[in-house]
Amino acid sequence: MLEVRDLHVHYGLSHALHGVTLGVGDGEVVGLFGRNGVGKTTLIKAIAGWLKPSRGVIQFGGKPLGGLQPDRICRLGIGLVPEDRRVFPGLTVEENLRLGFLQAPQRTKALMAARLASVYARFPRLAERRRHAGKSLSGGEQQMLAIARVLVGEPKLLLIDEPTEGLAPIVAEEIFALIASLRSEGISVLLVEQHLHRALDVCTRCYAMSRGQIVFEGGVAEPGERDALLAELAV
């Protein structure tokens, strides 16, 4: 579904990504791990069109994404849940969700109502707070809203950046359970996460980054595979 080949990204004179190559298949949850500042968020933003690569290829469903604006990439079926959530504080929960519907290729009132009903069924807490402003939500509720807003557009691939950062353990567990449910429904996910041991339970494969490069690629099902990853990251 997603293929990244020899990707380079610069911030001015700073070379942030050095020839990154990775892929995400249909229905996979692929983990992207590494210490802070190694380039994980830069890679996510480049895939979503928020940053322009200086070299390399990004393809989605066999189609190159180079030169496309973020809104166009979004409508192709890539949904980004950024690290800072970007919930609109002055809008209600439902108004935030309706903005997510703008990424849908086809938009009708009936389809909007069906998508909202589906999201509210998945997130009962958001249904209860649909008339509340985004700024009144807890951190966990804002994270759920950020994910739900993307799901309204029914993306084929989710890019999720640090979804459990700053959340209480019980709320973080809800987020991991949600990601596991997405995998069971065949939705592909590229997941950046610092809670490595728990994230491995929902991933099918993983990559590790260091200094703007991929330094590990492998499965997560066997103890030996996990040990190799942990050794690479020195966790």
CA-to-CA distance for 208 and 218, rounded, in angstroms?
A: 9
Do residues 53 and 46 make contact, with C-beta atoms less than 8 angstroms apart?
A: yes
CA-to-CA distance for 99 and 213, rounded, in angstroms?
A: 35
Is the pLDDT score of 235 beyond 60? no
Is the pLDDT score of 147 beyond 90? yes
pLDDT tens digits, one per residue of 88-133:
999 999 999 999 888 776 778 888 899 999 999 999 999 999 999 9
Do residues 97 and 148 make contact, with C-beta atoms less than 8 angstroms apart?
A: yes
One DSSP character per residue, 170-209 reads: HHHHHHHHHHHHHHHTT-EEEEE-S-HHHHHTT-SEEEEE
Q: How many residues are recorded in the chain? A: 235
The pLDDT of residue 224: 75
Distances (CA, A) of 27 to 2, 16, 34, 184, 235: 11, 29, 23, 8, 28
The pLDDT of residue 105: 67
CB atoms within 10 A of CB 81: 24
CB atoms within 10 A of CB 203: 24
Average pLDDT (159-178) is 93
The pLDDT of residue 164: 94
Do residues 214 and 42 make contact, with C-beta atoms less than 8 angstroms apart?
A: no
CA-to-CA distance for 122 and 119, rounded, in angstroms?
A: 5
pLDDT tens digits, one per residue of 4-40:
999 999 999 899 999 999 999 999 999 999 999 999 9
**Predicted TM-score (pTM) above 0.85:** yes
Q: What is the 3-state secondary structure (H, E, C) of 145-175?
A: HHHHHHHCCCCCEEEEECCCCCCCHHHHHHH
- SS3 state of residue 92: strand
Cα dihedral 124, 85, 62, 59 in deg (nearest 10): -170
The pLDDT of residue 154: 87
The pLDDT of residue 11: 93
Residue with the two structure tokens 């519907």: 101
- Is 3.40.1260.10 the CATH classification of the domain at 26-51+67-233? no
pLDDT tens digits, one per residue of 187-232:
999 999 988 889 999 999 999 999 999 999 988 767 677 777 877 7
